[in-house]
Amino acid sequence: MRRIYSILLLSFLFIGTLCAQVTLKIQAPTQAEVGQRIRISYVANTADVEDFQVGDFQGFNVLYGPSTSRSSSFSMTNGRTTQSSTVTFTYTVVPTAQGTYKLPAATIKVEGKSVKSGTADIEVLPASSSQGQQPSNSQQGSSSRQQQQGTSNSGQISGKELYMTVTANRQRIYEQEAVTLTYKLYTLVNIQQISGEMPQIDGCHVQEMDRPAQLSLKYERVNGRNYGTAVWKQYVLFPQKTGKLKIPGITFDTQVEVQNHSMDPFDIFFGGGSLSQIVRKQITAPAIEIEVLPLPSPKPDNFSGAVGKFSISATLTPEQVNANDAATLRLIVSGQGNMKLMKAPTIRFPQDFEVYDPKENNKTTNTATGVKGNITYDYVVVPRHGGKYVVPPVEFCYFDPETGRYNTLQTDSFSLAVAKAKGQPVAYTREQEDLNVLSNDIRFIKLGQLESAESDDFFGTSAYWLTYVLLFVAFILAFAWLKRWQSQNPNSWIVKGKKAGKVASRRLKKAAKLMHEKDDAAFYDEVMRALLGYAGDKLSLPTNELNKDNVISKLTARGVEQTVVDAFIAVLSDCEFARYAPVDDPSMAKEKIYQQASDVITQMNKTVRKL
């Protein structure tokens, strides 16, 4: 069986190797300034590149390139080594004019086949009006920006170099209608850290929108200067009262990296300082005021408190039940608005039904235009008497701020056929109807002749006891057969545990033969197989769970001394290191590792409890 698994695994690996495709991808910033140096890279996921060709860089002066760099990585999982390699061709170019340009595609040849990359668009903005304002290409797409000239030698940062704006998507809204506030950062300096939160606003429900942890700065030209901009915070507000809603200004604490002009380069060279320093600065987003209009009067009696645009759907399952069994009416409200603040609709069930509070399942997200998604309400009801019942249509009333009117949505009515429960009287008196359900646990005592449950004639008979004995004997025989099969099956963990030492000894003997040969990799692989194979067989660990952490946990649980565990892990680490790192004396290193591996397996064989 193990041989079949090995053949299948090798087949899958071979097919995966054939199916692996060579790709060539272009990497470049999306924006740049006229006169700014930028890097454009073409990355291939293979090192076996025979030829590289690229088209003309129209709109750019090529300073130098292509410069070629190669990289390789190795990883080992469960004793298997995988390797990946890449080659990168990089150009350094300078945009010459404003506009949007298409970067050319490149072509490589791998084993005689051509592989072509895609193209990329880059927007080139005019150079900033102040000299030297050329952001570093390495900062493009991150939450920091290259330090710009214009900061004074004292480290003071002006309000024109770093500020925050706030905008509202609506200036006049209805009560409960969503309004989104967007706080946007503008910077010409390198921001290291920024913090600040929306304060509590009386009479307003506030929800913060999720933002990516790593913000990307984009160029935006303001008064002849190219600012790095990013949306820093967004909040969705739901006013709970009418009138003027005043949103106070928010003060943000920032840490900015600026050039340290006061330091002597010689002092910096000899460890006396740094070319940059961190400056703290507070920036304040201005306050804003929004007019909140009251909802029109009179409000409908069935108004749910929902403000926005919505739709509803409902289902009743099952459509046929027995008395005292449960049925579920599911109502789904979908749309966009103040969904987290609206009330569950009230449904008029027949008087005979016991109704539980609806279970709510909220699947909504905050968006720039409010809360969007759906909320599911599950109403569980229990009909107490048989008959045919009609559940009236479900109504949902909401206010649409776009039309300024209340809308009522309505579902179809539902029919529910309830079968009479077993032993339930055909007719009830008025007093019995009034005492239908006294509580969840105490109900009206049914009158009439008691019905006895059908007796079970099998229990206690001779056939019953004979069946019991036969099942017990079958269990004993199955258990004995399983123990014997485990002892005879060479792949069982019991046999593997008993033979773990012998298998490890054979592998060490093979490693000893490889010790004096030039193939160091084969030697270290065989030593690692001996160590990991011993641990897997002795500790009953399958191959996919055979790693250092599991081995340490199992050895500790088996009562192996910590010194032996540390020695086992140390030999594994030395093998991995020596496998890929050059050593001064390979022969001495192999002899030392071989002896350590032999000693560790001997010590573990003495201390691990027998399986």
Structural domain ending residue among the three candidates 293, 327, 345: 293
Residues 538 and 506 both lie in one domain: yes
Q: Is residue 118 a contact partner of residue 105, using CB atoms and an 8 Å limit?
A: yes
Query: 221: which strand partners?
Result: 226
* pLDDT surpassing 60 at residue 269: no
| 38-47, 261-270, 346-355, range with the lowest pLDDT | 261-270
Pick the more confident residue, 413 or 74.
Answer: 413
Residues 543 and 592 both lie in one domain: yes
pLDDT at 49: 85
Specify the CATH number for the domain of residue 414: 2.60.40.740
Amino acid at 566: D
Q: Is residue 308 part of a domain?
A: yes
The domain total for the chain is: 4
Going by C-beta distance under 8 Å and a sequence separation of 6 or more, which residues neighbour residue 488? none
Angle at CA 504, nearest 5°, toward 502 and 506? Answer: 70
Most confident of the ranges 17-26, 143-152, 380-389, 478-487: 380-389
DSSP string, 270-322: TTS--SEEEEEEEEEEPPEEEEEEPPPSSPPTTEEEEEEEEEEEEEEE-SEEE
* pLDDT surpassing 70 at residue 496: no
Task: Average the pLDDT over 524-547 and give the result.
Answer: 76
Residues 583 and 512 both lie in one domain: yes
pLDDT at 291: 94
Residues 311 and 410 both lie in one domain: yes
Q: What is the DSSP letter of 434?
A: H
* pLDDT surpassing 70 at residue 372: yes
* pLDDT surpassing 80 at residue 409: yes
pLDDT at 312: 94
Residues 381 and 357 both lie in one domain: yes
| 45-54, 341-350, 433-442, range with the lowest pLDDT | 433-442
Specify the CATH number for the domain of residue 76: 2.60.40.680
* pLDDT surpassing 50 at residue 84: yes
Reference 527, options 455, 600, 474, 585; nearest CA is 600
| 180-194, 264-278, 322-336, range with the lowest pLDDT | 264-278
Q: Is residue 164 a contact partner of residue 202, using CB atoms and an 8 Å limit?
A: no
With cut-offs at 50, 70 and 90, classify the pLDDT of residue 439. very low
Specify the CATH number for the domain of residue 498: 1.20.120
Alpha helical stretches, state H, 540-561: 548-557
Q: Alpha-carbon dihedral of residues 588, 594, 596, 602, nearest 10 degrees? A: -160
Structural domain ending residue among the three candidates 125, 158, 173: 125
Residues 194 and 338 both lie in one domain: no
The percentage of the chain sitting over the pLDDT mark of 90, rounded to a whole number, equals 24
Q: Is residue 263 part of a domain?
A: yes
Structural domain ending residue among the three candidates 293, 323, 354: 293
Residues 362 and 328 both lie in one domain: yes
pLDDT at 396: 93
Residues 157 and 274 both lie in one domain: yes
* pLDDT surpassing 90 at residue 342: no
Q: Is residue 235 part of a domain?
A: yes
pLDDT at 14: 42
Q: Is residue 356 part of a domain?
A: yes
pLDDT at 131: 38
Q: Is residue 233 a contact partner of residue 167, using CB atoms and an 8 Å limit?
A: no
* pLDDT surpassing 70 at residue 418: yes
Task: Average the pLDDT over 440-461 and give the result.
Answer: 53
Please write the tens of the pLDDT for every residue from 285-322: 999 999 999 999 999 988 999 999 999 999 999 989 99
* pLDDT surpassing 60 at residue 277: yes
Residues 287 and 307 both lie in one domain: no
Pick the more confident residue, 244 or 579.
Answer: 244
* pLDDT surpassing 70 at residue 202: yes
Q: What is the extent of the structural domain holding 79?
A: 22-125
Q: Is residue 317 a contact partner of residue 292, using CB atoms and an 8 Å limit?
A: no
Task: Average the pLDDT over 521-543 and give the result.
Answer: 78
Residues 119 and 218 both lie in one domain: no
Q: How far apart are CA 604 and CA 565, in angstroms?
A: 8
Q: Is residue 216 part of a domain?
A: yes
Task: Average the pLDDT over 430-450 and give the result.
Answer: 44
Pick the more confident residue, 443 or 345.
Answer: 345
Residues 346 and 236 both lie in one domain: no
Please write the tens of the pLDDT for every residue from 121-174: 998 888 876 533 444 333 333 333 443 444 444 457 888 889 999 999 889 999
Residues 119 and 158 both lie in one domain: no
| 179-188, 329-338, 470-479, range with the lowest pLDDT | 470-479
Q: Is residue 42 part of a domain?
A: yes
Q: Is residue 273 a contact partner of residue 260, using CB atoms and an 8 Å limit?
A: yes
Residue linked to tokens 């009117």: 405
Q: Is residue 478 part of a domain?
A: no
Q: For residue 253, what is the enclosing H or E element?
A: strand 250-259
* pLDDT surpassing 70 at residue 99: yes
Q: Is residue 210 part of a domain?
A: yes
* pLDDT surpassing 70 at residue 498: no
- The helix/strand/coil state of 203 is coil
Burial of 298 (0-12, 13-18, 19+ CB in 10 A): exposed
Pick the more confident residue, 210 or 380.
Answer: 380
With cut-offs at 50, 70 and 90, classify the pLDDT of residue 223. confident
Q: Average model confidence (pLDDT) for the chain?
A: 78
Pick the more confident residue, 119 or 437.
Answer: 119
